[in-house]
Protein backbone atom coordinates (compact mmCIF):
# COMPACT_ATOMS: atom_id res chain seq x y z
CA UNK A 1 0.00 0.00 0.00
CA UNK A 2 1.57 3.25 -1.08
CA UNK A 3 -1.12 5.61 0.16
CA UNK A 4 -0.40 7.72 3.20
CA UNK A 5 -2.54 9.83 5.48
CA UNK A 6 -6.19 10.67 5.07
CA UNK A 7 -5.51 12.83 2.02
CA UNK A 8 -4.54 9.93 -0.28
CA UNK A 9 -1.12 11.36 -1.08
CA UNK A 10 1.46 8.92 -2.35
CA UNK A 11 5.22 8.62 -2.37
CA UNK A 12 5.00 9.66 -6.03
CA UNK A 13 3.41 12.95 -4.96
CA UNK A 14 6.20 13.56 -2.47
CA UNK A 15 8.98 12.80 -4.98
CA UNK A 16 7.44 14.95 -7.70
CA UNK A 17 7.02 17.81 -5.25
CA UNK A 18 10.75 17.75 -4.49
CA UNK A 19 11.68 18.41 -8.11
CA UNK A 20 14.24 16.77 -10.34
CA UNK A 21 17.44 17.89 -8.61
CA UNK A 22 16.38 17.12 -5.05
CA UNK A 23 14.86 13.79 -6.03
CA UNK A 24 17.99 12.81 -7.94
CA UNK A 25 20.16 13.77 -4.97
CA UNK A 26 18.10 11.61 -2.64
CA UNK A 27 18.22 8.67 -5.05
CA UNK A 28 21.99 9.14 -5.44
CA UNK A 29 22.51 9.07 -1.69
CA UNK A 30 20.22 6.07 -1.25
CA UNK A 31 21.91 4.13 -4.06
CA UNK A 32 25.37 4.99 -2.75
CA UNK A 33 24.37 3.70 0.67
CA UNK A 34 22.85 0.50 -0.69
CA UNK A 35 25.88 -0.24 -2.86
CA UNK A 36 28.32 0.42 -0.04
CA UNK A 37 29.93 3.41 -1.77
CA UNK A 38 30.06 5.49 1.38
CA UNK A 39 33.14 6.01 3.50
CA UNK A 40 32.78 5.09 7.15
CA UNK A 41 32.89 8.67 8.35
CA UNK A 42 29.73 9.51 6.35
CA UNK A 43 27.62 6.44 7.14
CA UNK A 44 26.06 7.79 10.33
CA UNK A 45 25.12 11.11 8.72
CA UNK A 46 23.76 9.31 5.65
CA UNK A 47 21.57 6.98 7.70
CA UNK A 48 20.27 9.89 9.77
CA UNK A 49 19.46 11.96 6.68
CA UNK A 50 17.77 9.13 4.77
CA UNK A 51 15.77 8.16 7.84
CA UNK A 52 14.47 11.72 8.22
CA UNK A 53 13.53 11.93 4.55
CA UNK A 54 11.67 8.62 4.58
CA UNK A 55 9.90 9.48 7.83
CA UNK A 56 8.72 12.70 6.25
CA UNK A 57 7.42 10.75 3.26
CA UNK A 58 5.61 8.35 5.53
CA UNK A 59 4.08 11.07 7.68
CA UNK A 60 3.19 13.55 4.99
CA UNK A 61 -0.05 15.41 5.32
CA UNK A 62 -2.18 17.67 3.16
CA UNK A 63 0.29 20.51 3.70
CA UNK A 64 3.42 18.56 2.75
CA UNK A 65 3.70 20.47 -0.52
CA UNK A 66 4.16 23.70 1.41
CA UNK A 67 7.10 22.36 3.39
CA UNK A 68 10.63 22.23 2.09
CA UNK A 69 12.89 20.05 4.16
CA UNK A 70 15.89 22.30 3.74
CA UNK A 71 18.03 20.74 6.46
CA UNK A 72 17.80 17.23 5.00
CA UNK A 73 18.27 18.44 1.43
CA UNK A 74 21.37 20.44 2.40
CA UNK A 75 22.71 17.47 4.32
CA UNK A 76 22.17 15.28 1.26
CA UNK A 77 24.11 17.71 -0.93
CA UNK A 78 26.95 18.02 1.59
CA UNK A 79 27.36 14.26 1.84
CA UNK A 80 27.25 13.88 -1.94
CA UNK A 81 29.98 16.51 -2.33
CA UNK A 82 32.21 14.35 -0.15
CA UNK A 83 31.39 10.92 -1.58
CA UNK A 84 30.52 11.55 -5.23
CA UNK A 85 34.01 10.77 -6.54
CA UNK A 86 33.90 7.34 -4.86
CA UNK A 87 30.60 6.35 -6.49
CA UNK A 88 30.69 3.92 -9.40
CA UNK A 89 28.99 4.33 -12.75
CA UNK A 90 26.23 1.79 -12.03
CA UNK A 91 25.21 3.58 -8.84
CA UNK A 92 24.91 6.90 -10.64
CA UNK A 93 23.01 5.33 -13.55
CA UNK A 94 20.57 3.56 -11.24
CA UNK A 95 19.81 6.84 -9.43
CA UNK A 96 19.30 8.49 -12.81
CA UNK A 97 16.87 5.77 -13.91
CA UNK A 98 14.91 5.99 -10.65
CA UNK A 99 14.58 9.74 -11.12
CA UNK A 100 13.43 9.30 -14.72
CA UNK A 101 10.59 7.10 -13.47
CA UNK A 102 9.09 10.21 -11.87
CA UNK A 103 10.33 12.85 -14.32
CA UNK A 104 10.17 11.31 -17.79
CA UNK A 105 10.87 14.61 -19.55
CA UNK A 106 14.34 15.02 -18.04
CA UNK A 107 17.28 14.51 -20.37
CA UNK A 108 20.83 13.46 -19.55
CA UNK A 109 22.12 17.03 -19.73
CA UNK A 110 20.30 17.86 -16.48
CA UNK A 111 21.92 14.91 -14.72
CA UNK A 112 25.36 15.80 -16.07
CA UNK A 113 24.96 19.35 -14.80
CA UNK A 114 24.05 18.07 -11.32
CA UNK A 115 26.87 15.52 -11.37
CA UNK A 116 29.39 18.17 -12.42
CA UNK A 117 28.42 20.28 -9.43
CA UNK A 118 29.73 17.46 -7.23
CA UNK A 119 32.84 16.75 -9.28
CA UNK A 120 34.30 20.25 -9.17
- Min mean pLDDT across 10-14, 28-32, 34-38, 83-87 is at 10-14
Q: Give residue 6's pLDDT.
A: 54
91: exposed, middle or buried (C-beta count within 10 Å: 0-12, 13-18, 19+)? buried
Taking the complete model, does pTM exceed 0.85, yes or no?
no
Rounded Cα gap, residues 107 and 109, in angstroms = 5
- Higher pLDDT: 16 or 99? It is 99
Residues belonging to the chain: 120
Residues 8-28 as b or e (16 or more Cβ within 10 Å = b):
ebeeebbbebbebbbbbbbbb
Amino acid sequence: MDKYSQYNLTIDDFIRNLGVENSYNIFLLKEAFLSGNIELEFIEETVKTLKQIFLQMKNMSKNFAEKVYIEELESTENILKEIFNTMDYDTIEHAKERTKEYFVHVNDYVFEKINNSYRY
